[in-house]
Structure 1
Amino acid sequence: MSLTAFLHSRHGRGFSCRAEIEAHHAAAFRRFRARVMPRSPFYRGMADLPLKALPRMDKARLMANFSAINTCGIDHDAAMQVAIRAETSRDFRPLIGKVSVGLSTGTSGQRGLFLATPRERRLWAAIMLGCYWPELWRRQRVAFFMRADNALYRSLSNPLVRFAFFDLLSPFEDHLARLADLDPSVLIAPARILAMLAERQAAGGLALSPRRVISVAETLSPEDAALIERAFGTRVHQVYQATEGVLAMTCRLGHLHLNERWLRIDRDVIDAASGAFCPVIHDFTRESLPILNYRLDDVLIPDPDPCPCGCASQRIARIEGREDDVLWWPSVTGPRMVASEAIRTAIACLPQPLRDYRVVQQGRMLHLWLDAAAPGAEPALRTSLAGLARRLGAEPPALVFHRGLPPETDAKRRRIRVLPEARTGV
């Protein structure tokens, strides 16, 4: 299956229409219910149920039933001990039998576990290498920045791939000499790390020449994408991967598509006007820890236009962020969703230049930090946001401007955030 996955990812034409995708998913679920669900004590008696009749899952429910859901006979507490020991020692080599165990904190801070069998690790590596290996005939050097290593990621290594893990819990400066010595042909990192490396490259502190740059783990903002592409002279690709699986990847033209060859992703629409939805995942490749009818709280904005690449898998305009970090402004007919993209556009279109910004919604107030903004930026932005509110038929929040930038309390350096008290009372 790994070779098939590699060839599909590398040379496959993609799906030609929705009917082909639906037929593919139906066949995959038939195989999954026959081969995998009977091996899970939790799902054993549900193999004849339709997908939508299966229990709705989220991280809390999955972890509460971890021992019964997984097909490897692995106890939750034993897996958690292995994962925590790896995190504290920073030695990620130990397995449970042949199964790798990983710990996820997630953006919500709630701990979760994931498993990967040798087969699942080979499949993941085949998909990634098929999509993003620059030249098959040349040995590649992969720099991978993540919070934790795992046998899943090391499965990228082979005689033609030199894989190097860079620990995000180590000081950033400590990585630079080793990174320069590696001179990676493939650079994989969260968006904020790529932006920091791009800034260092632009200032002359690095001279990297990667053939592929891939953003993972965080939402990639248009500002950071432009900075990264200027610094490294190549398109930045995205892999939208959660603990629950690889949900989306960029095609050869750089457009983000749902990963519908390996997952079925249904939609829980939260805003009819934009089509914004939270994905509900059914992963027919994950045998160790079945992921079925699993709702994420990420918000995706679909792109209604077909992709020029020809693949019919749903194109995603952008990843808006977590559901509880979406801006909502009040209106006479109820709360109106305000896309982060609209705020970014308002700031990008200011006639006055600025270096950087942060926007934080807190209750009925919108706090704005405009770093090194030219005179006149504040009144211009007030006018622009008032116009945005009129177009949405919404009431704009009170605007509070600050100088400089706030202390970085958000590990993922989101420029637009919503504090918990802003999510009620709109």
Structure 2
Amino acid sequence: MFLTTFLTARYGRCFPSRAAIESHHVRAFDRFRRKVMPRSPFYRDLARTPLAALPRMDKASLMENFSAINTCGLDYDRALEVALRAEKTRDFSPLIGKVSVGLSTGTSGQRGLFLTTPRERAQWAAIMLGRFWPDLRRRQRVAFFMRADNALYRSMSNPMIRFEFFDMMTPWDEHLPRLNGLDPTVLIAPARILGQLALAGLRISPQRVISIAETLMPDDRAAITASFGCRVDEVYQATEGVMAMTCPAGNLHLNEHWLRIERDVIDPATGAFCPVIHDFTRESLPILNYRLNDVLIPDPEPCPCGCASQRIARIEGREDDMLWWPGPSGPRLVPADAIRNMIACLPLRLRDWRAIQRGDVLEIWLDGADSDPRPALEQALTDLGRRLNCTPPQLLVRQGLPSEGDAKRRRVRVDAG
């Protein structure tokens, strides 16, 4: 299975058309209904139910029904106990039988569990290695930055790969000498960490740099590319699976070879949608009719790579963090990208920034502004409202950066509290 998946990820022909994707999904779900769903107490009697008619899931409902949904006979409380102990001790090696348990908080802070069997870990490793291994003729050194380790990630380790986990909960200064000593050929980290590494004066020359876990912003991409001298690839992976990856042409595509991803459109003008996932590879904890609150912007242009899998222009952020400003015919979605461009075009130098909407007030936090930003910000906000035909909220300018409790940076967000 590993070799087949590896070869498919590295050399397999991409889907030439939507019809080919649909045909592939029909065959994959026919097997999944016969082989996997009967093993789940929750889905056993729903094996012949149309996908769209299955119970709608999100993280809360998946966790509420965790004990009945998983096919491994694991109790939620037992799995949570193992995951919490690993978080506390920072020892992520214990398994329940052969099943690894991971804890996810995501950007929302809502706690969730994920499971992986040996087969699933091998498949994930085969996909990642097949797609991103720089040179099959040479042994690779992989540096992987993440909040928590897991047997899933260590499944990439083999005689040809030296895999080292860098715990993001460890003091930053401890990482740099170790990273210089490793001199990784593959560097994998959240966008924020890659941005910090790009400025750290490291003596490393990775051949592949892969951004994970956070939205990769254009200014960060440019800085990382300039520092390390190679293209930045993206893997859009949630607890629920590998959602999208960059293709050889450098564009982000939905992972329709292993998932069926439908759209819950929230803004017809831009096509912005929340993905609804049906995963026909996840056997330990079936993910079916599962709606993520991430907002994706589709790119209608065909990709030079020739793959018909949906191309994604950008990952906009969480649905809860979408800015909606009043317009003449109702609320108007203000893309986070519009806020980013507005800040980028300000005639002043900045180290960093945040935009937080609280009710009818938009707080703009500016770190390191070298001049008074208010006049330029007020004009930029007025121009943005005019361009989008909507009314901007009241502006409040703050210096520095706000305290941020979650591990994932979100430069544009809504604070409902």
- Which piece of structure 1 moves more, 269-278 or 167-176? 167-176
TM-score (normalised: structure 2): 0.97
- State how 1:399-414 maps to structure 2 within 5 Å: 399-414=395-410
Q: Match of 2:384, as an amino acid? A: L
Does residue 1:35 correspond to 2:31, yes or no? no
- Where structure 1 has 5 or more consecutive residues not aligned to the other structure, the ranges are 422-426
Equivalent position of 2:330 in the other structure:
334
Classify the secondary structure of the residue corresponding to 1:200.
Answer: coil
Equivalent position of 1:76 in the other structure:
76
In 1, the alpha carbon distance for the partners of 2:304 and 2:98 equals: 42
Q: Match of 2:141, as an amino acid? A: R
Q: Match of 1:360, as an amino acid? A: I
CA contact (8 A) 1:13 1:310 kept: no
In 1, the alpha carbon distance for the partners of 2:286 and 2:186 equals: 31
Does residue 1:281 correspond to 2:277, yes or no? yes
- State how 1:5-404 maps to structure 2 within 5 Å: 5-201=5-201, 206-375=202-371, 377-404=373-400
Q: Match of 1:94, as an amino acid? A: P
Q: Match of 1:162, as an amino acid? A: R
In 2, the alpha carbon distance for the partners of 1:359 and 1:122 equals: 40
CA contact (8 A) 1:38 1:47 kept: yes
Deviation per CA, 1:88-118, whole angstroms, max 9, x where unpaired?
A: 1111111111111111112121211111111
Deviation per CA, 1:45-92, whole angstroms, max 9, x where unpaired?
A: 011111011000011111111111111111111111111111111111
- Where structure 2 has 5 or more consecutive residues not aligned to the other structure, the ranges are none
CA contact (8 A) 1:274 1:301 kept: yes
In 2, the alpha carbon distance for the partners of 1:109 and 1:352 equals: 34
Q: Match of 1:282, as an amino acid? A: H
Classify the secondary structure of the residue corresponding to 1:73.
Answer: coil
Deviation per CA, 1:337-363, whole angstroms, max 9, x where unpaired?
A: 000101111222234443332211111
Identical-residue share of aligned pairs (%): 70
Deviation per CA, 1:277-319, whole angstroms, max 9, x where unpaired?
A: 0000000000111000000011001111111111111011111
Q: Match of 1:283, as an amino acid? A: D
Give the direction of change, closer, same or farther, for the CA distance of 1:94–1:354 in structure 2 (3 Å limit): closer
Cα deviation for residue 406 of structure 1 reads 3.4
In 1, the alpha carbon distance for the partners of 2:54 and 2:367 equals: 49
Deviation per CA, 1:161-187, whole angstroms, max 9, x where unpaired?
A: 000011111111111111111111101
Equivalent position of 1:424 in the other structure:
none
Q: How many residues were matched structurally?
A: 417
TM-score (normalised: structure 1): 0.95
Classify the secondary structure of the residue corresponding to 2:288.
Answer: strand
Q: Match of 1:361, as an amino acid? A: Q
